[in-house]
Amino acid sequence: MICFRSDYSQGAHPEVWKALAESNFEHTDGYGLDAHCETAAGLIKDLIGKPDCAVHFMVGGTACNLCVIAAALKPYEAVIAAETGHAYVHETGGVEATGHRVIPVKAPDGKLTPESIAQAQSTGEDEHTPLPKLVYLSQPTELGTLYRASELRAISEYCRANGLYLYLDGARLACALTAKENDLSLSDLARLCDAFYLGGTKNGALFGEALVIINEEINDHFRWIVKRSGTLLAKGRLIGVQFEALLSGGKDCLWLRIAKKENAVAQILREGLGSLGVSFYANSPTNQVFPVLPEKLVERMKEDFFFYEWAKPQNGRVALRLVTGWGSTEAEADAFVSTVQTGLEP
Amino acid sequence: MICFRSDYSQGAHPEVWKALAESNFEHTDGYGLDAHCETAAGLIKDLIGKPDCAVHFMVGGTACNLCVIAAALKPYEAVIAAETGHAYVHETGGVEATGHRVIPVKAPDGKLTPESIAQAQSTGEDEHTPLPKLVYLSQPTELGTLYRASELRAISEYCRANGLYLYLDGARLACALTAKENDLSLSDLARLCDAFYLGGTKNGALFGEALVIINEEINDHFRWIVKRSGTLLAKGRLIGVQFEALLSGGKDCLWLRIAKKENAVAQILREGLGSLGVSFYANSPTNQVFPVLPEKLVERMKEDFFFYEWAKPQNGRVALRLVTGWGSTEAEADAFVSTVQTGLEP
Amino acid sequence: MICFRSDYSQGAHPEVWKALAESNFEHTDGYGLDAHCETAAGLIKDLIGKPDCAVHFMVGGTACNLCVIAAALKPYEAVIAAETGHAYVHETGGVEATGHRVIPVKAPDGKLTPESIAQAQSTGEDEHTPLPKLVYLSQPTELGTLYRASELRAISEYCRANGLYLYLDGARLACALTAKENDLSLSDLARLCDAFYLGGTKNGALFGEALVIINEEINDHFRWIVKRSGTLLAKGRLIGVQFEALLSGGKDCLWLRIAKKENAVAQILREGLGSLGVSFYANSPTNQVFPVLPEKLVERMKEDFFFYEWAKPQNGRVALRLVTGWGSTEAEADAFVSTVQTGLEP
Amino acid sequence: MICFRSDYSQGAHPEVWKALAESNFEHTDGYGLDAHCETAAGLIKDLIGKPDCAVHFMVGGTACNLCVIAAALKPYEAVIAAETGHAYVHETGGVEATGHRVIPVKAPDGKLTPESIAQAQSTGEDEHTPLPKLVYLSQPTELGTLYRASELRAISEYCRANGLYLYLDGARLACALTAKENDLSLSDLARLCDAFYLGGTKNGALFGEALVIINEEINDHFRWIVKRSGTLLAKGRLIGVQFEALLSGGKDCLWLRIAKKENAVAQILREGLGSLGVSFYANSPTNQVFPVLPEKLVERMKEDFFFYEWAKPQNGRVALRLVTGWGSTEAEADAFVSTVQTGLEP
């Protein structure tokens, strides 16, 4: 069984594993107040060029999103997100559980624009309507698409001119940064956003994300917010240890190497299937591929491959989501392509 | 530096570690929907004798507490807890963040009684007062003390007769079950409580707890509650793998063996210090020891030992909390005792 | 200055006033536990033919909506509403403050359909998405439009077949019931809905609404929900007294007489303006009229008339909202029409 | 039947009633944005000597408390209150519904002190505990007792020195201000507190309170907070009209005259019963009187008098709460005293 189900279907990348193993017998203080977390935070500050930012090691992406939103917003304030955004569609109303509305915005390719944000903001006129205050977006988006530097810059400028925080969900950020089409750096993100996170869970870590808060307003008593949410890990150093392993070495660090490989294997799928005339549900240049295949072929392929069906079948065809992970290989991608080739032959 | 700071200061017990290593390259489905979690849940159902209960593998103890309370209570209902209980004093108002009051109850040795619960319930007369609905207690308590079977049975009977859920926080449950004074079994707990958890984080796991829900009312859509809270782990199988390792082998399982050792090392501290005439802040028969020592001696001991000062100094003396973990050794306990002995000599 | 600003711009209808005056010196118990509330509840039970329903006298419409939603939903459940619905657009995220999402549904004329509800429900697949549980609609809608009996019946059937509660916001219900196009009775509503309210504030009362809960599940400890929200009126009897006055007399009761008059005056506006060739933003057969007039004329009319501009001007024309209240007169409507007539003359 | 049940058992004082009647036919804008509210706010600013404060007319006392707390606190912050305080014991966990803990403080006569506040604050050490931020107290307290100027000044100084907001619940404030023992003026309160309210419901109004916010931090977007809570009255001008009537005339205004009379009638009860040797449950110098009477006598008196039994009977005696309202008369008080006298005769 070959797995393109998700980028969190295996454990930790062996180099991450080694770091955990080597530090396993150390005694440290809990809750992220240890030397590993401090070192890892330092690596991040260097990478993004913001020595004064705050770094919090978080147990998962939803925890990042919910804690940032809880910390940033006053009770009557709201979040603007793409209607396909993770915080809107895949977190079970977690934002609402903190008392805040997520205003869903039409976003055909999963991307917000200053115009669509302005549209969402235009409804917030007086004390009878929630006040939009934070823009939530993902890089890459849920559909694997990317914001170009010019696009993110325009959004950031709009947000600053209109009193909005900009928060970027980076669950798969490394795959964005290493995509061919990418023209944004980590320091760009640090300049353009008020907060964002570097995803570990979907990029080689056993679990954990590194949340970066640039804007001090959001960071005020942030650890209280995390503890109160039930997501502050007792052995917090585990996440620090992993990010030390992932981020050491600057531009050649493991975190980016893993992503490059994931993108490369995804590219084999994309090009291979494309050359067979297969169309795609979304135009993703990162580690997610959304081929549309005949329903019957998909049924047969389930015997050998493990993947998501992304949308309901239409006209006998169904869109899949294939995701490559740190352990995915070129051979696995080749096998998938050649099985489709055989299946499509007349 | 010898560490009696906490039972979560090191990583995973080597046997747990081995299980994680062996399963690291497997591909599984996420969010706890995998074979390891299923197997581990089966082990628990066998141990407690409740084939129909629900088991959820959770990322931490606060997450267990907050999710159970959110699932069990209607908006106007409240929790009754000892004023020293973890959910009242060490979770930053997480319960209140779910909209519910924790009614703090005087509990000199950290333990509730039917009488103190009844007292808390007596204030809830009409629609002007919150309605107590769930009793929260810990075994062992925050002070390391134990409920006897007769005590827990009386509480359970009171709860059932008075429409209250009984929930037991088992962060250190294995140390309770293996204490000499203990007369409660896991199946007793399953009979007496509506929900409880088997702590992993403080008993040899890298992280994670196994939450057992006996009462179906609390289990309704429970996974929605967890996801919404931001505490549903993507690689949920990690916790399942660890509990397979911890709970295989029945009464001789690793989980209980670790606790026995922790208790034994704590007993060396307790007896050794007691024989020197040292008094104790609380009478704990488990892996926490609370000796009261001269302030000056404590200052000197900080050079070689790492521990908590539990309360503010009084009359030149200060109460410490020493906690033994899976890696604590008899030699470390001996070293502590003999350092105190030397320090107390005239 | 003639006022078509809202149906809550004046105090109480003189007959309501009289009832309040006559009971002013009585001593009664507080919080709605008095004979007036009991009598008024009885009148409602008779009118709707549901002797076993629960009636709660509430301080306002938003309070009704928020309390019903808080009482009906479990933490992970959500509300389905038209994107123009009051609970979505004019309550400042009050629903989200109770922890629940409102899923906004496209509704061109302000009305939901089984299809649009089904569409909203289709996104709720598993524990990663909120579970829609309550359908919120208004009769008449925010745009003054009406659900026909066949439409509401279809929605009710869909809801029952699909595990959804149906809740009807009746802020202007009397105007719906007395509209020419109406084919729904109060007992129809009681059969089709799980809860609804009879609006007083916008229909002759000084303030207050009568909330009817048919489904016992929603009524469980409902007074606790109200008190906790801060909306339980100490002198609750005031609302009971008013509904006694409004609802005595069956089909000829003051509540319906006021609405008939409001509709009649609105009809003068509608017909008069229509006969001048004025178009309307929405097709409302009740006490709201939405004429689209030249911007310049609108500016001049502000000197003599008080009204809302409903939408932003487009192409030199702007949509107004004219609302008739219990004190509105035919002469006032005539004056408005003739002023428009003069203004439109070439 | 003579009623000493509560000070909200009757409707409005005739002078308040007259003002409502006279303004009943006016058309005004809704939600408190009208000339009456503006005038009434001006009267308050003059009375308290704070031209820059904010005044909000609220529908009830619980609404005041919940909105101030929601506006003032960040998610992890908590309220300190006497364990007998209204916000702790009589609001059904409304504060917790906004996500915040109320820390209950022992307060034998219902009063907080700098020491008891400091004690509550001492538990808030780090990110594992909620951070106390607002002190809630009532003047008079739930037990009818009064803070002396020196006491309130000491609390205010402590709060300012320790980063706490001070909020005063003034449900019965007029009775405090007009008590013989009182040495605090409205301008003192405005200097010492961050926010407080002038109670109307329990002092002659039909309903409504006037909330004064001195500290701008708490006032930020306050109307959003109120609307979101469901407590923003559509016909908001009703409360403004009433406070115009209550507060016109400065030191001789109706609001204070009503309170003086209530206190005077209460004094007849207090002195009359005291002279019969009756003891009191609490030492209240305002419009509440708490005599302890033989249970059998109390049973007989229920035929002619309507009152609360405040505590459960002990040793054959039971504490009553008698409250005088705007309509209470000296003759009613005399009748109560003489009935007790007869009942106590051997």
Q: What is the pLDDT of residues C199-215, one digit of tens each?
A: 999 999 999 999 999 99
Would you state the pLDDT for residue D346?
Answer: 77
Q: Are C343 and C41 in contact (CB under 8 A)?
A: no
Q: What is the pLDDT of residue A32?
A: 96
The total number of residues written for chain B in this structure:
346
Q: What residues in B contact D104, CB-CB < 8 Å?
A: 104
Residues C243 and C278 reside in one and the same domain: no
- In sequence order, the 6+-apart residues with CB closer than 8 A to the CB of B292 are B278, B279, B280, B281, B317, B318, B319, B320
Same domain, A29 and A161: yes
Same domain, C229 and C81: yes
Q: Identify which of D66, D31, D6, D2 has the alpha carbon closest to the alpha carbon of residue D239.
A: D31
Nearest CA of chain B to the CA of A25: how many Å? 6
| Amino acid occupying residue D126 | D
Q: How far apart are the first and last CA of chain C?
A: 25
Residue C335 pLDDT level (bands cut at 50, 70, 90): very high
Interface check B127 vs D, CB under 8 A: yes
Domain span at C225: 14-252
pLDDT score recorded for residue B273: 97
Chains with 3 or more CB pairs closer than 8 angstroms to C? A, B, D
Q: What is the pTM of this model?
A: 0.97
Confidence of residue B253 (pLDDT cuts 50, 70, 90): very high
Q: Are residues D240 and D306 in the same domain?
A: no
| Last residue of one domain, picked from the residues C252, C281, C306 | C252
Tell me: do B173 and B281 sit in the same domain. Answer: no
Of C75, C128, C223, the CB nearest to B70: C75
Q: Are A82 and A135 in contact (CB under 8 A)?
A: no
Contact D238 C62 (CB under 8 A): no
Residues of B (200-229) whose Cβ lies below 8 Å from C? 220-221, 223-228
User: Are the C-beta atoms of C1 and C332 separated by less than 8 Å?
Assistant: no
Sheet holding A77-82, edge to edge: A54-58, A209-213, A195-199, A165-169, A131-138, A77-82, A102-105
Could you write out the DSSP letters of every residue in D105-148?
E--TTS---HHHHHHHHTT--STTS-EEEEEEEESS-TTS----
As a whole number of angstroms, the distance between CA B237 and CA A225 comes to 27
- Do A230 and A268 lie in a common domain? no
Q: Which of residues 20-39 of C touch B (CB under 8 A)?
A: 31
Show the CA angle centred on residue C237, arms to residues C232 and C243, nearest 5°: 105
Last residue of a domain, one of C252, C270, C292: C252
Q: In this structure, are A110 and A164 located in the same domain? A: yes
**Taking Cα atoms as reference points, which of C149, C197, C170, C194 lies closest to residue C286?**
C170
Mean pLDDT of C271-298: 95
Instruction: Choose among A103, A39, A73: nearest CA to A195.
Output: A73
* Whether residue A125 has pLDDT greater than 80: no
Q: What is the pLDDT of residue A108?
A: 85
pLDDT exceeds 90 at position C100: yes
Q: CA D66, D72, D74 angle in degrees (round to 5)?
A: 105
Instruction: Check B128 against D92: CB less than 8 A apart.
Output: yes
Residue type, B5: R
Q: What is the CA radius of gyration of chain D?
A: 20
Tell if the CB–CB gap between D75 and A225 is shorter than 8 Å. yes
Percent of chain B exceeding pLDDT 70 equals 99
B94 to chain D, any CB pair closer than 8 A? The answer is no
Kindly report, residue by residue over C285-334, the tens digit of the pLDDT.
Answer: 999 999 999 999 999 999 999 999 998 888 999 999 999 999 999 999 99
| CA distance linking residue C166 with residue C152, whole number of Å | 10
* Type and span of the H or E element at D57: strand D54-58
- Put simply, the answer to whether B221 touches C70 (Cβ < 8 Å) is no
Last residue of a domain, one of A252, A274, A305: A252
- pLDDT tens for chain D, residues 1 to 346: 899 999 999 999 999 999 999 999 999 999 999 999 999 999 999 999 999 999 999 999 999 999 999 999 999 999 999 999 999 999 999 999 999 999 999 998 999 999 999 999 987 669 999 999 999 999 999 999 999 999 999 999 999 999 999 999 999 999 999 999 999 999 999 999 999 999 999 999 999 999 999 999 999 999 999 999 999 999 999 999 999 999 999 889 999 999 999 999 999 999 999 999 999 999 899 999 999 999 999 999 999 999 999 988 889 999 999 999 999 999 999 999 999 999 998 7
Contact map slice: B 49-78 vs A, CB within 8 A: 59-63, 65-67
Classify A280 as helix, strand or coil.
Answer: strand
pLDDT on residue B108: 85
Residues whose CB falls within 8 Å of the CB of residue B301, separated by 6 or more in sequence, listed in order: B293, B307, B336, B339, B340, B343
Q: Which pLDDT does position C294 carry in this prediction?
A: 96
**In this structure, are D244 and D262 located in the same domain?**
no
Measured CA to CA in angstroms, residue D246 lies from A242, D22, D150 at distances of: 67, 15, 28
Question: Are B136 and B102 a contacting pair, CB within 8 Å?
Answer: yes
Examine the domain organization and report whether A247 and A284 are in the same domain.
Answer: no
Q: Is the dihedral of CA D278, D283, D287, D292 positive or negative?
A: negative
Q: How many domains does chain A have?
A: 2
Size of the B and D interface in Cβ pairs below 8 Å: 54
Q: What is the mean pLDDT of residues A193-202?
A: 98
Q: CATH code at C311?
A: 3.90.1150.10
What's at A103, amino acid-wise? Answer: I
User: CA of B227, closest CA in chain C: separation in Å?
Assistant: 6
Q: Tell whether A150 lies on the interface with B, counting CB pairs under 8 A.
A: no
| Lowest-pLDDT range of A207-221, C43-57, C114-128, C166-180 | C114-128
C-alpha distance from D62 to closest chain C C-alpha (Å): 5
Angle CA A78–C70–D83, to nearest 5: 95
Q: Residue A218 has what DSSP assignment?
A: H
For residue B51, cis peptide bond before it (omega within 30 degrees of 0): no
**H or E stretch including C3?**
strand C2-3
Provide, as residue numbers in chain A, all residues whose Cβ is less than 8 Å from the Cβ of D228: 75-76, 130
Of C136, C254, C146, C168, the C-alpha closest to C203 is C254
Which residues of chain D neighbour C235 with C-beta distances below 8 Å?
8, 11, 201, 206-207
Q: C117 Cβ partners below 8 Å, 6+ apart?
A: C80, C105, C135, C155, C158, C159, C164
Contacts of A226 in chain D (CB under 8 A): 127
Contact between chains at D230 and C234 (C-beta distance less than 8 A): no
Contact C224, D92 (CB under 8 A): yes
Q: Does C274 touch chain D (CB under 8 A)?
A: no
Cβ neighbors of C156 (< 8 A, separation 6 or more) are: C166, C191, C192, C193
- Amino acid sitting at position D138: S
Cβ–Cβ under 8 Å, residues B107 and B116: yes
What is the rounded distance in angstroms from the CA atom of residue B220 to the CA atom of residue D210?
Answer: 44
Under an 8 A CB cutoff, do B221 and C99 touch? Answer: no
Pull the structure tokens for residue C253.
């009761």
Q: Do B75 and C71 touch (CB under 8 A)?
A: yes
Q: Which residues, at least 6 apart from C294, have a Cβ–Cβ distance to it below 8 Å? A: C316, C317, C318, C343, C344
Cβ pair A127:D75 closer than 8 A = no
What average pLDDT score do residues A139-164 get? 97
With CA atoms as reference, the chain B residue closest to A93 would be B228
Test the A interface: residue of C92, C105, C122 with most A CBs within 10 Å: C92
**Residue B122: its pLDDT value, please?**
86
D214 and D194 Cβ atoms separated by less than 8 Å? yes
3 state SS of A120: helix
What is the average pLDDT score of chain C? 96
**Do C26 and D10 lie within an 8 Å CB cutoff?**
yes
C100 contacts in A (CB within 8 Å)? 93, 96
Angle at D301 between CA D297 and CA D305, to 5 degrees: 155
SS3 C4: coil
Q: Which chains touch B (3 or more CB pairs under 8 A)?
A: A, C, D
pLDDT higher than threshold 80 for residue B232: yes
Contact A228 D76 (CB under 8 A): yes
Inter-chain touch D76–B91, beta carbons under 8 Å: no
The nearest alpha carbon in chain B to C101 belongs to: B228
Q: If 0-12 CB within 10 Å is exposed, 13-18 middle and 19+ buried, where does residue B163 land?
A: exposed
Tell whether D99 lies on the interface with C, counting CB pairs under 8 A.
no
Q: What is the pLDDT of residue A34?
A: 97
Specify the CATH number for the domain of residue B41: 3.40.640.10
- How far does D80 lie from chain B, in Å, by closest CA? 13
CB-CB under 8 Å, A130 with C89: no
Contact A41, A72 (CB under 8 A): no
Confidence band of B124 (pLDDT split at 50, 70, 90): low
Indicate whether C124 pLDDT > 90.
Answer: no
Spatial contact of A323 and A290, defined as CB atoms under 8 Å apart = no
Say how far apart CA D129 and CA A232 lie, in whole Å.
13
Residues B39 and B153 in one domain: yes
Domain shared by A87 and A28, yes or no: yes
Q: In this structure, are D241 and D263 located in the same domain?
A: no
Structure-token pair, residue B45:
């159902």
From the list D128, D111, D219, the residue with the least C-alpha distance to D165 is D219
Predicted confidence band of residue B311 (pLDDT cuts 50, 70, 90): confident
Measure the CA–CA gap between D71 and A270, rounded to whole angstroms. Answer: 52
